[in-house]
Amino acid sequence: MMYSLSGATILVTGGTGSFGRRFVETVLQTTDPKKIIVFSRDELKQHEMRSALPEDHYPTLRFFIGDVRDADRLGEALRGVDHIVHAAALKQVPTAEYNPFEAIKTNVLGAQNVIRAAIARGVRQVVALSTDKAANPINLYGATKLCADKLFVAANAMSGEGGPAFSVVRYGNVFGSRGSVVPFFLSRRASGVLPITDPGMTRFSITLRQSVDFVLRCLKDMRGGEVFVPKLPSYRLMDLAKAIAPDARIDVVGIRAGEKLHEVMVPRDEARRTLAFASRFVIQPDHPWWDSEDYLKSIGGNPCVPGFAYCSGTNDEWLSVEDLRALAAEVRVG
C-alpha cells in the first residue's frame, strides 16, 4: 500500500544516501508531489543524483546543500514543507566509536534541530529512520539513535495541538547496503576465504525497496509517537556465506567491538506496550499524552505477550541459501 504524496512538498534529509535516493525516485515515479527537496551535505552525490534525475524530466525536484547540524539552514530549507523523512545520520559503528562527538552532533543534536525547525515551520509530518542498534544499544551509534528516537517521540508533546506529528521507523541493515556484510563477502569471494565473526550470528533481511515502501506506509498510518517495526525474515551468516561462496574456506575472526550476535528490534522491555499486526509491530509511546486504549480500539492489533522479544535469532521466518543467493545476485560491489 503506497501513500500518495500528490500535491505535497517533501524534504528528505540525507537524501543522497542509498535510502534517500531510492525514496526520492519512488515518490517521483509513483505520485505527483508539488516539490521534493533533497537535503544533504555531499555536493558530489547531489551532482550525480541531479545528472541521473535531470530537471527537464523532474521539474519538482530540488537540491539543497546543508547539514542537519546547521539549524539556520534547516529552517530555510523547510519553508512550505509538508513532510520530512529524516534519513541523515552517521551510521558506521566504528566511525561513531572513534569520533563520538561527531556522531552526537549529527545523530542527536541534528535530530533536535530537525524537530525544532519542523515545529517552527509548521510541517505536518516527520518520519525519522532508526536502526535495530537503538534497541538495547551496546555501541555509541546505537546509543545516539536511541536518544534520537526518544527525542522524536517526545516531540509530539512539544508540537502541541495542530503541530507536526513525529514517528519513528526502526529496521536493520538494508541487504547489500554500503558497508554491510553482503558486498564485503562478494568482494572477498575470489580470494577463496571468507572471514566470519561468529558461525551462530543471525541478521534480519530487508531490501531497499521494502524499506522505502514501509516508510511510505507508515506516513499514511502514523498518528505521532509510534515506533514502527516491520516483520522481516532472518538469515544465518553461515547460510549467506554458502550462498555467495559455497567453496570458500571460513575464517572465524570473532565478534567486533559493539557488535551483537543477534539483532533485536523489539526488546523485552518494550514488548508490554507493543502491538503486533500482520506485517509489522507498533511500539506505543510510554507517555501520559498517549491513549493506548483508544489506539487499540481504533487501530486494532494484538498486544504482545509478556517477555516477548523480536529477535533475528528466534524469528519464525528464515531465508534459505537459495533465497540469499538470489538476493545477493542483485547487489553491486563498488
pLDDT in tens for each of the 334 residues of the chain?
A: 346 789 999 999 999 999 999 999 999 999 999 999 999 999 999 999 999 999 899 999 999 999 999 999 999 999 999 999 999 999 988 899 999 999 999 999 999 999 999 999 999 999 999 999 999 999 999 999 999 999 999 999 999 888 999 999 999 889 988 778 899 999 999 999 999 999 999 999 999 999 999 999 999 999 999 999 999 999 999 999 999 999 999 999 998 878 899 999 999 999 999 999 999 999 999 999 999 999 999 999 999 998 999 999 999 999 999 999 999 998 876 5
Query: What secondary structure letter does DSSP report for 2?
Result: P
* Domain-embedded: residue 191: no
168-272-215 Cα angle (round to 5): 20
Q: Which residues contact 2 (CB under 8 A, 6 or more apart)?
A: 30, 31, 213, 216, 217
Residue 126 lies in a domain: yes
In a domain, 142, yes or no: yes
pTM: 0.95
List, in order, residues 6 or more apart from 129 with CB less than 8 Å away: 19, 85, 86, 87, 89, 168, 169, 215
Q: How far apart are CA 114 and CA 84, in angstroms?
A: 9
| Structural domains counted in the chain | 1
DSSP conformational letter for 318:
B
Question: 4: which DSSP letter?
Answer: P
Task: Report the chain's C-alpha Rg in angstroms.
Answer: 20
- Among candidate residues 35, 91, 105, 133, the one labeled active-site is 133
Burial class (CB within 10 angstroms; exposed 0-12, middle 13-18, buried 19+) of 123: buried
Instruction: Let me know if residue 183 belongs to a domain.
Output: no
321: in domain = no
Please report whether residue 220 resides in a domain. yes
Task: Specify whether the CB–CB gap between 243 and 321 falls below 8 A.
Answer: yes
Q: What are phi and psi of 263, to 5 degrees?
A: -80, 145
Which DSSP symbol is given to 173?
A: P
242 has catalytic annotation:
no
Contact 77, 66 (CB under 8 A): yes
Give the three cell numbers for residue 189: 569471494
Domain that holds residue 36: 9-172+206-231+264-311
Domain membership of residue 184 (yes or no) is no
Of 33, 42, 128, which is closest to residue 81 (Cα–Cα)?
A: 33
Q: Is residue 124, in this structure, part of any structural domain at all? A: yes
CATH number at residue 131: 3.40.50.720
Q: Which residue has the cell 498518528?
A: 223
